[in-house]
Amino acid sequence: MQLTYLEAIRQGIWEEMERDPTVFCIGEDIGIYGGAFKVTDGFIDRFGAERVIDTPIAESAIVGAAFGAALTGMRPVAEFQFMDFIGCAFNQIVNMVGKAHYRWGAPAPLVIRGPSGGNVHGGPFHSQNPEMWFVHAPGLKVVCPAGAYDAKGLMKAAIRDNNPVIFFEHKYLYRRIKEDVPADDYIVPLGKARLAQEGRDLSIITYAAMVHTAMEAAEILSKEGIDLEVLDLRTVSPLDREAIVQTVRKTNKVIVLHEHPRTGGLAGEITAIINEEAFDDLDGPIVRITALDTPVPFSPPQEEYFLPKVGDVVREARKLKAY
């Protein structure tokens, strides 16, 4: 059946709550209101206030309560209304949740989820992509799906995982992306990339909303005889190093595309992996296409300038193909 990206996430959580009574949701306005984007709409009617818990506006407290519950055998799914405010819980996530297994071998089956990303004119406090803050922190898995099928399967895998998972849902995709999603139970393994499109001339390594940007560019370039391979990372921590190396060895030319700013971004890490494991396979420089090193502008024309665009990918792919 065809589901939106949002509905796929909603179904993934709902089905896990039906399957496992230890799964519960906690967050701001998730109960009676049904969540800022309505991901948990109707949950409180089905599962009750003990499993769909409304909280004060206190992200650190939300994570602290969820972490405590996880340590006692529960599987909490904690929602942030916007992932921009995840910084309010940074100490809890990085120093407590992420280090629990390392410090004393304790499982911490906790999912922290919510909307991230720009192109919705939300301004600098409601449009960020803060995944790299947590990619750098050991002990955390970080997931950024691009489509409905993966969003549902990755959510179910995240809830079942005994490790903490931070689940970034790109808000621009919530109601814009529809895909066929099986009615049967399935998961998408964490830490495994998918080949969104096979190609022979050059590879684009990307994730989340930028997968769709890459696919649009690939369609334009195919009419010029340029064949792009698109690798969707899906999970950005841990990275699927094998898939990255395989696509480099196949096409020998690489563009790394992401929405968050360039400095300290994932493109630098991927470039280092390629240099370490597939340098001799390169036939051209590794190209980075990223957002600018500024806050996300509120002004629609400025935000469009700030974000990577299809035209940027087309231009750089032409140059790299001719290199």
Cβ contacts of 271 within 8 Å, gap of 6 or more:
256, 286, 288
The arithmetic mean of pLDDT across residues 95-104, rounded, is 96
**Residues with Cβ within 8 Å of residue 322, at least 6 apart in sequence:** none
Question: For residue 136, what pLDDT band results from cuts at 50, 70 and 90?
Answer: very high
Task: Please report how the helices 148-160 and 5-19 are oriented relative to each other, as an axis angle in degrees rounded to 10.
Answer: 30
Catalytic annotation, residues: 126
Q: Residue 70 is which amino acid? A: A
Residue 1 has pLDDT above 90, yes or no: no
Phi, psi (degrees; rounded to nearest 5) at 214: -65, -40
* 51 contacts 85 by C-beta, under 8 angstroms: no
Distance in angstroms (rounded) separating the CA atoms of residues 25 and 18: 12
pTM: 0.96
Mean pLDDT of the chain: 97
Would you say the CATH fold of 194-322 matches that of 2-180? yes
CATH architecture of 194-322: 3-Layer(aba) Sandwich (3.40)
| Contact of 203 with 283, CB cutoff 8 Å | no
Kindly report the number of other CB atoms within 10 A of residue 84's CB atom. Answer: 21
What does the pLDDT look like over 256-291, one tens digit per residue? 999 999 999 999 999 999 999 999 999 999 999 999
**Class of the CATH-defined domain 2-180:** alpha beta
Q: Where are the domains of the chain?
A: 2-180, 194-322
Cα 85 from Cα 80, distance rounded (Å): 7
Do residues 234 and 188 make contact, with C-beta atoms less than 8 angstroms apart? yes
pLDDT (tens digit per residue) in 41-87: 999 999 999 999 999 999 999 999 999 999 999 999 999 999 999 99
The pLDDT of residue 71: 97
Give the number of C-alpha atoms closer than 13 A to the C-alpha of residue 180, restricted to the C-beta side. 1
Tell me the pLDDT band of 122, cut-offs 50, 70 and 90: very high
- Nearest CA-CA partner of 130 in 79, 191, 83: 83
